[in-house]
Amino acid sequence: MQKTRLDTARIRAARRVIDPLFLNTPLYRCEPLEPVMDCKVSIKLETANPVRSFKGRGAELVTEEVVANGGSALVCASAGNLGQALAWSGRRRGLDVKVVARRQAPPVKLERMRALGATLELVDGDFEQARERAVVLAQRDGVRLVEDSLDLSTCEGAATIGLELAESTSGFDTVLIALGGGALATGIGHVLRTLAPGVEVVCVQPKGAPALTLSWRRRQVVNTETMETIADGVAGRFPIPEVLQDLLLVADDAVLVEEESIVAGMRLLLEHAGLVVEPSAALGLAAVLEDRERFAGRHVVTIVCGSNVELEAYRGWAW
């Protein structure tokens, strides 16, 4: 295949850098979900770790790099999960971590970043304003800027999930991946394309924040004016051209789902899997719910990518 920016040998090597806490996460069939979904469902659980999302994998690589290059600080924009992960990984390496986040981000994500020692700067507006501000801060302070999905380590960290899937013997034929900035999808997609090319790679994004999906469909960057979704972890408006190029090479499909399907997916994960998840982690099930026929009889793996959810909001959605 045409080459993505990612490198499989480097992804394998990454497993020696990432704290084992974040690796070899549970992958298991969830039969109680199956009659509801009309297909076999396996869960890849990325929430049973100190930062409750898959972002620890990439954060470990990024912070290790900063240290290797003699740096002592980094700055990033984050919807909350990358910031937590960088704060966790940065703290154990003695790095100053500054995170620019939306003032409207779930308070639990902001609190957790602070508790892990990150310095927060809050901006009005959406994630794109946070990204712009992070660029300014990095230039002003001469500090390493971490750009989620553009920074290769964020993709290759996530890609280690792909290795674990490719090495499993669970016999799935489809993987459902939440699509935000694209690190998770290009990471897992790259590895599966390379090592398990028979597996269909399906990206799922909220209809209310569709920029990267629209871009994938038109094969060119499409920015959107606004966005509106409860899935705060995957909400962006300005896709990154390099990430789109990779995604075009590794994704079989990119689908958009309604908010009510995301809520239904969260409810099903609670009821049948006993899992409290954040909205972005329910995108995979939402995709199945909206197109049962397409997935009927298949064996899908859905990546449960995060559980940093505001409990009060969650109660409103899933209870």
User: Quick count: other Cβ atoms within 10 Å of Cβ 29?
Assistant: 16
Q: Give the C-alpha separation, 182 to 205, whole Å.
A: 10
β-pair type (40-45, 299-304): parallel
Do residues 126 and 100 make contact, with C-beta atoms less than 8 angstroms apart?
A: no
Q: Give the C-alpha separation, 108 to 311, whole Å.
A: 9
* 284 contact partners, CB below 8 Å, separation of at least 6: 176, 177, 178, 204, 265, 300, 302, 303
Shortest Cβ distance from residue 278 to a copy of itself (Å)? 9
Shortest Cβ distance from residue 106 to a copy of itself (Å)? 12
β-pair type (27-29, 40-45): antiparallel
Shortest Cβ distance from residue 274 to a copy of itself (Å)? 4
* 20 contact partners, CB below 8 Å, separation of at least 6: none
User: Quick count: other Cβ atoms within 10 Å of Cβ 218?
Assistant: 10
Can you tell me whether residue 51 is helix, strand or coil?
coil
Across 230-273, the runs of DSSP E, i.e. the strands, are 253-257
Joined together, the tokens standing for residue 314 give 């969650």
Nearer to a copy of itself (CB atom), residue 175 or residue 309: 309
Shortest Cβ distance from residue 103 to a copy of itself (Å)? 22
Shortest Cβ distance from residue 3 to a copy of itself (Å)? 33
Nearer to a copy of itself (CB atom), residue 32 or residue 241: 32
Shortest Cβ distance from residue 75 to a copy of itself (Å)? 23
Shortest Cβ distance from residue 210 to a copy of itself (Å)? 28
Q: Give the C-alpha separation, 72 to 63, whole Å.
A: 9
Nearer to a copy of itself (CB atom), residue 111 or residue 141: 111
Nearer to a copy of itself (CB atom), residue 228 or residue 312: 312
Nearer to a copy of itself (CB atom), residue 229 or residue 307: 307
Shortest Cβ distance from residue 28 to a copy of itself (Å)? 5
Shortest Cβ distance from residue 319 to a copy of itself (Å)? 7
Do residues 255 and 174 make contact, with C-beta atoms less than 8 angstroms apart?
A: no
Nearer to a copy of itself (CB atom), residue 28 or residue 141: 28
Q: Which residues bind a copy of itself (CB under 8 A)?
A: 21, 24-26, 28-32, 43, 45, 47-50, 52, 112, 115-116, 270-271, 274-276, 307-309, 311, 315, 319
Distance of CA 167 to the CA centre of its chain: 21
Nearer to a copy of itself (CB atom), residue 46 or residue 128: 46
Nearer to a copy of itself (CB atom), residue 49 or residue 194: 49
Nearer to a copy of itself (CB atom), residue 95 or residue 243: 95
Joined together, the tokens standing for residue 104 give 């409207």
Helix boundaries (H) for 116-237 = 127-141, 152-167, 183-195, 211-218
Can you tell me whether residue 45 is helix, strand or coil?
strand
